Structure 1
Amino acid sequence: MADFRLGIDDFSASCRLHLGVNPQSGALYVFINRNQTMVRALRFDGTGFWLMTKHLSKGKFCQWPSPNVN
């Protein structure tokens, strides 16, 4: 889960610091909010980052994987 008040720079920093990946790799990184009503996807296309948002007007994303807790 991610804090959806954050912007592109913060999401790319989260990829580096928390996931240990390079956000400029071209992979798609998808985050969900706590209520599971919104997802954000971050992708680097070679010239800059895209931050896409999907917000459900009804219901929740019910098939989302649960976080790994160590």
Structure 2
Amino acid sequence: MIRRESVTIYVHRDPVDFRQSINGLSIRVSDVMELDVFSGALFVFGNRSRNKIKILYWDKTGFCLWYKRLERNRFKWPRKGDSVLLLTDEQFDWLLRGLDIAKLTPHTESVFTDLF
């Protein structure tokens, strides 16, 4: 379970290969982001198409990996600036709810009746 009371949230700005799982993303946190993967922080990664995110964190007993895929929209990441962004808890909520953090505009809701 994600305990978000006073947790630090980092976003890796550049897209990552989503074939990477816990091991590959953990190495990216340590080697590329130069952060402590065991800190309890949330590390957010996006794919090249920006329709998927993965969130990696250490919960003191093991690694957890959370995955979200948008069906009709894209997440908004800054294209310029630092390679690691620090989000507030509120900004993290906006991101997960489909809001453009910069513009604060929601994605349109998707309503489906069948999977395929």
TM-score of the two chains, using structure 1 as the length reference? 0.89
**Match of 1:25, SS?**
coil
Q: Are 1:65 and 2:78 an aligned pair?
A: yes
**Unpaired runs of at least 5, structure 1:** none
**Match of 1:26, SS?**
coil
Q: Are 1:34 and 2:37 an aligned pair?
A: no
Q: Which runs of 4+ in 1 moved over 4 A?
A: none
**Cα offset, 1:35, TM superposition:** 0.5
**Unpaired runs of at least 5, structure 2:** 1-14, 84-116
CA distance in structure 1 between the aligned counterparts of 2:72 and 2:64, rounded to whole angstroms: 25
Q: Are 1:51 and 2:65 an aligned pair?
A: yes
1:13-67 per-residue CA deviation (whole Å, 9 max, x = no partner) reads 00001000111100000000000100000000000011110000111113x2225
Indicate how the Cα distance of structure 1 residues 49 and 37 shifts in structure 2: closer, same or farther if over 3 A, else same.
same
Count how many residue pairs are aligned between Structure 1 and Structure 2.
69
Let me know the Cα RMSD of the aligned residues: 1.7
Which structure has the larger Rg over C-alpha atoms? 2
CA distance in structure 1 between the aligned counterparts of 2:73 and 2:23, rounded to whole angstroms: 29
CA distance in structure 2 between the aligned counterparts of 1:2 and 1:23, rounded to whole angstroms: 17
Q: Percent identity?
A: 35
Greater share of helix: 1
